[in-house]
Amino acid sequence: MAKFEISAAERAELGRVAVIYGGNSAERPVSLKSGAQVLLGLQQAGVDAFGIDLYGEDGQQCPLTQLQAEPFDRAFLILHGRGGEDGVIQGLLEMLEINYTGSGVAASALAMDKLRSKQLFMGAGIPTPEFVHLDQSKDPVLQTEHLGYPQMVKPAHEGSSIGMARVNSPAELQKAVASATEFDGMVLVEKWMTGSEFTVAVLDGRALPVIKLETPHDFYDYDAKYESDDTSYMFEHELTEDQVAELQTLAERTFEALGCEGWARIDIMRDEAGEFRVLEANTAPGMTDHSLVPMAARQQGISFEQLVVEVLRASS
Digitized pLDDT (tens) for each residue of the chain, 316 residues in all: 678 999 999 999 999 999 999 999 888 999 999 999 999 999 999 999 999 999 999 989 999 999 999 999 999 999 998 889 999 999 999 999 999 999 999 999 999 999 999 999 999 999 999 998 988 888 988 988 999 899 999 887 765 567 788 999 999 999 998 988 888 778 889 999 888 999 999 999 999 999 999 876 565 455 544 455 667 889 988 899 999 999 999 999 999 999 999 999 999 999 888 899 999 999 999 998 788 999 999 999 999 999 999 999 999 7
205 is known as an active-site residue = no
Q: What CATH number is given to the structural domain containing 229?
A: 3.30.470.20
Q: How far apart are the first and last CA of the chain?
A: 29
Domain contains 149:
yes
Residue type, 34: S
Domain contains 123:
yes
Counted residue by residue, the chain has a size of: 316
Same domain, 215 and 285: yes
226 is known as an active-site residue = yes
What DSSP designation does 136 have?
T
Same domain, 200 and 268: yes
Same domain, 55 and 118: no
Structural domain boundaries, residue 184: 131-191
Q: What CATH number is given to the structural domain containing 40?
A: 3.40.50.20
Same domain, 115 and 257: yes
Q: What is the pLDDT of residue 71?
A: 95
| SS3 (DSSP) at 257 | helix
How far are the Cα atoms of 142, 209, 266 from residue 200, in angstroms, in the given order? Answer: 35, 7, 5
267 is known as an active-site residue = yes
27 is known as an active-site residue = yes
CB atoms within 10 A of CB 217: 16
Domain contains 1:
no
Q: What is the dihedral of CA 60, 66, 67, 68, to 10 degrees?
A: 130
Q: What CATH number is given to the structural domain containing 181?
A: 3.30.1490.20
| SS3 (DSSP) at 263 | strand
Domain contains 204:
yes
Same domain, 23 and 71: yes
Q: What is the pLDDT of residue 43?
A: 98
Provide CB contacts within 8 A for 205, sequence distance 6+.
Answer: 252, 255, 256
Same domain, 280 and 266: yes
Same domain, 116 and 216: yes
160 is known as an active-site residue = yes
Q: What is the pLDDT of residue 163?
A: 79
- Find the helix or strand (DSSP H, E) in which 201 lies: strand 196-203
Which residue among the candidates 190, 280, 291, 303 is catalytic per the annotation? 280
Same domain, 276 and 137: no
Domain contains 264:
yes
Domain contains 234:
yes
Same domain, 135 and 185: yes
Same domain, 202 and 295: yes
Number of domains the chain contains: 3
Which residue among the candidates 74, 82, 265, 277 is catalytic per the annotation? 265
Q: What is the pLDDT of residue 232?
A: 83
Same domain, 217 and 78: no
Q: Would you tell me the crossing angle of helices 304-313 and 292-299 to the nearest 10 degrees? A: 100
Q: What is the pLDDT of residue 137?
A: 85
Q: What is the pLDDT of residue 64?
A: 93
The domain boundary residue, chosen from 169, 191, 213: 191
Please name every residue paired with 53 in a beta bridge, in sequence order, or none if there are none.
21
CA distance 104 to 14: 19
CA distance 222 to 159: 9
Q: What is the pLDDT of residue 158?
A: 67
Domain contains 16:
yes
Q: What is the pLDDT of residue 159?
A: 58
b/e map 32-67, b = 16+ CB within 10 Å: bbbbbbbbbbbbbbbbebebbbbbeeeeebebeebb
Side-chain half-sphere CA neighbours of 101 within 13 A: 26
pTM of the model: 0.88
280 is known as an active-site residue = yes
Same domain, 80 and 210: no
Domain contains 243:
yes
Please name every residue paired with 242 in a beta bridge, in sequence order, or none if there are none.
none
The domain boundary residue, chosen from 174, 191, 208: 191
DSSP 12-71: HHH-SEEEEEE-SSTTHHHHHHHHHHHHHHHHHTT--EEEEEET-TTS-S-HHHHHHHS-
Say if residues 158 and 184 touch (Cβ distance below 8 Å): yes
Which residue among the candidates 282, 291, 303, 315 is catalytic per the annotation? 282
**227: buried, middle or exposed (CB in 10 Å: 19+, 13-18, 0-12)?**
exposed
